[in-house]
Amino acid sequence: MSKSSNHTYSFPENFLWGGAIAANQAEGAYNLGGKGLSTQDVAPRGVMGSITEEPTEDNMKLIGIDMYHRYKDDVKLFAEMGFKVFRTSIAWSRIFPKGDELEPNEEGLQFYDNLFDECRKYGIEPLVTLSHYETPLHLAKEYDGWVNRKMIGFYERYATTVFNRYKNKVKYWLTFNEINSILEFPFMSGGIYTPKEKLSKQDLYQAIHHELVASASAVKLCHEIIPDAQIGCMILSMPTYPLTPNPDDVIKVMEYEHSNYFFGDMHVRGRYPGYMKRYFRENGIEIHMEDGDQEMLLNTVDFISFSYYMSTCQTADPAKQVAGEGNLIGGIPNPYLPASEWGWQIDPQGLRYVLNMFYDRYQKPLFIVENGLGAVDELITGPNGEKTVEDDYRIQYLNDHLVQVGEALEDGVDIMGYTSWGCIDVVSASTAQLKKRYGFIYVDRHDDGSGTLERYRKKSFHWYKDVIASNGNSLKR
């Protein structure tokens, strides 16, 4: 099937174009406004490094990009690009500093009132993640995070508080960021203080059960408190290809994909699938259910959101089990794909593939809430005298991925929107660097802590503004 080179895609009129960040990577102000410590405040090297007893000066997230004080300027820049939606998260420890209090912190609540008001002033819909890799540190240390069933109640109190507070301002919600990442990063994703190597599969999957019950409870609460809102799950998508056509490799892929599909299956169907019951049997795992858990899990999501950065391969051949340096959740590099500076393989077609896979499986609307290219950017003086970044590599990456979103729309997939990751430079989650930049907006801060925190529009800023203004028609195939 040939297509003409000037083919345009029919993005829906109400398609939600925008960008995404997380509170812990952008806000800073880790000890201001009554905020308590979170797990991120003691993870100065991101998921790659060890945790510290107390916050240390080398932790870039303590200041982040100082969005806590600069959010008005930043939202104005998002509005200049034409954002319809802005995905951010609420820092749980701004609302409940320790996590187990009975009463919330009013100063923290007011900050998000101000932020959401600023978004709505420009007609930007907030898309809010309740828990984005930042469990209150007290809950991690005192309760071992989601291993402890008491976390469900703490999370319900927090969710109820923010749903009631922002019910007139926020119509799109997500329960947990990349919930399946708990399999690889139990501390960052699940607030589990027990070191990963000492964590039993029994404890890990019991923690996952608690999170899934809490997520379903948040769905129920959201539907009760904000009837006109939509609430979804958020999954780290990692499409996986067999390294060879050997049936052993194909079965290996199926088993690997089950470990991630499991989280979507639970959120959409509300029941443990047969393949997980087999896994539990074969690994001596027994999920402890309490009365009401099975009924609660049947509160299923309105849509599925996901991140997409890369695909990976699997093989059953032990001689070929070579991990890729950038593949955060396992997998083998694909010999047909290039990689970013951080070893993340670049596969635009994988996005079309995963959109089709999810839609075929769930028949629910999909929302791409993270996708982007981390790269080292050079700030230069442009022809008009303004400082900028000539980030054609980022434009190419995003263009090619959005073309595949257009293809998926042609395939009949129901896609709500697209929020590129790190629409303004933020501190990286994986390595806690600022050198690894994703944004359309350059932030003058560096890994040694130097910089003015000034904001500069990159070349991609103007490109994305055109994409939004044309509703995708400016994309180049």
Question: What residues are labeled active site?
Answer: 370
- Pairing mode, strands 441-443 and 455-457: antiparallel
- Cα 63 to Cα 25, 177, 273, 432, distances in angstroms: 9, 22, 43, 12
| Chain position carrying tokens 């806000």 | 27
- Size of the chain in residues: 477
What are the start-end ranges of the H helices in 128-200?
137-143, 150-165, 186-190
| Distance separating alpha carbons of residues 446 and 350, to the nearest angstrom | 32
Per the CB < 8 A criterion, the answer to whether 459 and 389 are in contact is yes
CB 344 within 8 A of CB 392: no
Interacting residues of 422 by C-beta distance below 8 A, sequence separation 6+: 19, 20, 21, 25, 372, 374, 437, 438, 439
Q: What is the separation of C-alpha 459 from the centre of its chain, rounded to a whole number of angstroms?
A: 25
**Can you tell me the distance from the alpha carbon of 250 to that of 246, in angstroms, rounded to the nearest whole number?**
7
CB atoms within 10 A of CB 197: 5
Q: How far is residue 448's CA from residue 231's CA, in Å, rounded to a whole number?
A: 39
Q: CA-CA distance, 79 to 292, in Å (whole number)?
A: 44
**Non-local CB neighbours of 133 within 8 Å, separated by 6+ positions:** 22, 24, 39, 40, 177, 178, 188, 189, 429
State how far the Cα of 408 lies from the Cα of 353, in Å rounded to an integer. 8
Work out whether the CA dihedral 418, 346, 67, 471 comes out positive or negative: negative
